[in-house]
Chains A and B, each alone.
Chain A
Amino acid sequence: MSRVPDVVRMLTLVPWLLERPGASIAEIAAAFATTEEAIRTELDHLDYCGLPGLGGGDLIDVRILGDTVVVGMADELRRPMRTTPAETLRLLLAASQAERMLGPAAGALTRAVAKLRAALGVPEDAVVVVEPEAGDLVEELRAAVVAGRRVRISYRGRGDTTAVDRDLDPWRLELHDGAWYLHAHDHGAGAARIFRLDRAAALRVTEQPVTVPVPAELEAPRYVPGPEDPEVEVLLGPGGTWLLDAVTVAPEATGAAPGGRTARFRVGAPEWFARLILMAGGHAEVRDPSGMRTLVHRRALAGLERLERSSGAASGTSDA
């Protein structure tokens, strides 16, 4: 961050510190999500601020003793500035985004939001965040992370044809590009792994405490193709370009083609990729290599065959 003092933060530091005499520089920096250096600079400047007029007694009194701060003589700034509309909306958005993830704290968040709305005059429905629902699995995993318990999940990775059980020390859940991921230590692999939760099914929370601590830095969930992974060329019709967004693999190249556009991906897990092409329902066509074409063709035929063999009795209902 810049070393230019933040005027709004200075105006907020005063009432915040009036309520917290003796707060440490480290605490203040953490609460304001900035550096200790920035806080020291701003406190130095505040010491020269106060009421107009020339008497020294009208200045704000900022005392820094070692690492602790006491502010006095600042009754004119006893209350913080109102949040701006942008800040208000940001808070409400964060609350809306997080509420499903707070577990037992969700009720307290709802109360806090009601108080915010009332104090700031925000219309009842001014913010809605619609993201995929956090299902039971997310909720149970969150509880396991908080409790520090090892879990066993049934997971179908990119390269797996069926789901496999994995024993994990769960570290953190992450919502990334609209999908939930779990960062964890995988005891089977003996390494950190990221699991996409829509590929996981059953979960069992064990009594065993986690043994591998959370690393300081966790990678963003993104598939990094290996150099030996074969390259696949796909022709995308107008109804298939969503594939470019849906795949967490960045295409190596894209280009225009008659009837749509082409994209080249490096694919380490052919079965997973074939499923993706099936999902496009004919709006995406594998051009190359022929092995991948054949796999997609075979999978689609298998689907049709299963459909024709099934009884097909008119069942299922609309439950609107």
Chain B
Amino acid sequence: MHAAERLVNLTIALLEARRPMTFDELRRRTRYYPQPEHATARRMFERDKELLRSLGVPIRTEQAYGMEEPGYRIDRREYELRDLHLEPDEVTALALAAELVAPAELALALAKVSARGPDPDPDVVPAARLPLDVTAVDGAAAVVVERRRVRFPYRTADGREEPREVEPYGVVRRRRAWYLVGRDVARDGLRGFRLDRMTGPLEAVGEAGAFEVPDGLDLAAVVSGPEARPVAVDLEVTPEGVRDVVARGGRDVGPGAHGTRVMRVEGLDRVRDLAWLLAISPEAAVLGPPEVRDDVAHGLHRVVEAHAEVPS
């Protein structure tokens, strides 16, 4: 019997079993493990069982009363995905999201959740591509979904490696980095941990459902660093600079000196948006706030100094 057939058949047999089946029962009542040597057959069964578990098939090991050997079965309620009752537009939206982001990596998951639902609208145009490596967080998925505490070795910003124990609340993708966000147990505080600084595998500890995710938690805020205070910056803009400023949401405030316009850009970050203000400085002078004006002047002085002389 082909391995794939044996694995599907084992799944069906354990799903249909009314009580846990021992290996010997399985071997007697099916033809799946016909090797004459008991130990050889047993090894093959063990491999099959572990493979199926790794694929997500929930095979339970149970020691029934009066039985010498452990028995195995699959609880249908644990195995089956209950009906989601997705509407046609909901399936279409999910399929479109998968198409935009990572079609190959999402196809099977999408087929599972929509198997008993309607088909997506075939005429939807995928107008964009938003590729994202959705498999990057596979290793952290189980502990997040099952709400299990987790331990991992972590390289801190100053290069030391330290163990961490965390109640993982979720994952965040920000500025091309993945973070696991949760409560750091030892420090009793909300922290974000970069996945690329975890120097070893995540190890689940303890029971599933071990904690609740706090209400109203803003995961993204945890990894956005020190609280950013948006500032509105006023700029004196030459005609050549107007389009750049408009592209950043700048609004006209009124005329400035020498044929310029005064424009206001709301919601800028003093640290993060300094680079943009420096880039447009030949066409747009910061009028205020004064501290932003000083930042730009300081940055420009440094550029001038660095480029003033012919390098040695």
Interface residues of A (CB under 8 A from B): 4-12, 15-16, 19-20, 31-34, 42, 45-46, 48-54, 76-77, 79-91, 93-95, 97-99, 101-102, 105-106, 108-109, 111-112, 115-116, 119-131, 135, 137, 142, 145-146, 154, 156, 161-163, 172-178, 198-202, 245, 275-283, 285-288, 290, 293-294, 296-297, 299-304, 306-307, 309-320
Are B138 and A304 touching (Cβ within 8 A)?
Answer: no
Q: Does residue B300 face the partner (Cβ distance < 8 Å to A)?
A: yes
> Smallest Cβ distance from A263 to chain B, in angstroms?
15
Are B87 and A111 touching (Cβ within 8 A)?
Answer: yes
- 1/0 contact trace for B299-311 toward A, CB 8 Å? 1111111111011
**Across-interface contacts of B113 in A (CB, < 8 A):** 80, 83, 91, 116
Instruction: Tell whether A310 pairs with B173 under 8 Å between CB atoms, given A86-B138, A162-B243, A316-B264.
Output: no
16 A-B contact pairs sorted by A residue (CB < 8 Å): A12-B108, A77-B12, A90-B105, A90-B109, A94-B132, A94-B134, A111-B87, A112-B91, A115-B86, A120-B145, A125-B169, A125-B170, A128-B170, A300-B281, A312-B293, A317-B232
* Cα(A28)–Cα(B156), bound, Å: 48
**Across-interface contacts of B52 in A (CB, < 8 A):** 7
Are A50 and B12 touching (Cβ within 8 A)?
Answer: yes
> Smallest Cβ distance from A182 to chain B, in angstroms?
9
Q: Does residue B98 face the partner (Cβ distance < 8 Å to A)?
A: yes
> Smallest Cβ distance from A128 to chain B, in angstroms?
5
- Interface size class on chain B is 35 or more
> Smallest Cβ distance from A198 to chain B, in angstroms?
7
Per a CB cutoff under 8 Å, which of B32, B258, B290 touches A314? B290
Are B300 and A303 touching (Cβ within 8 A)?
Answer: yes
Are A19 and B108 touching (Cβ within 8 A)?
Answer: no
Are A300 and B229 touching (Cβ within 8 A)?
Answer: no
* Cα(A100)–Cα(B91), bound, Å: 17
Are B116 and A8 touching (Cβ within 8 A)?
Answer: no
> Smallest Cβ distance from A152 to chain B, in angstroms?
14
Per a CB cutoff under 8 Å, which of B5, B127, B146 touches A173? B127
> Smallest Cβ distance from A247 to chain B, in angstroms?
13
Instruction: Tell whether A102 pairs with B97 under 8 Å between CB atoms, given A112-B91, A316-B287.
Output: yes
Are B275 and A314 touching (Cβ within 8 A)?
Answer: no
A47 — nearest CB in chain B belongs to which residue?
A: B5
Are A162 and B240 touching (Cβ within 8 A)?
Answer: yes
> Smallest Cβ distance from B144 to chain A, in angstroms?
5
**Across-interface contacts of A31 in B (CB, < 8 A):** 107, 111, 119
Are A290 and B310 touching (Cβ within 8 A)?
Answer: yes
Besides the contacts A91-B106, A310-B257, what 4 more A-B pairs have beta carbons closer than 8 Å? A125-B169, A297-B308, A306-B285, A316-B231
- 1/0 contact trace for B1-32 toward A, CB 8 Å? 11011011101110110000000001001111
Are B134 and A173 touching (Cβ within 8 A)?
Answer: no
B2 — nearest CB in chain A belongs to which residue?
A: A45
Are A89 and B171 touching (Cβ within 8 A)?
Answer: yes
* Cα(A281)–Cα(B301), bound, Å: 8
> Smallest Cβ distance from B94 to chain A, in angstroms?
5
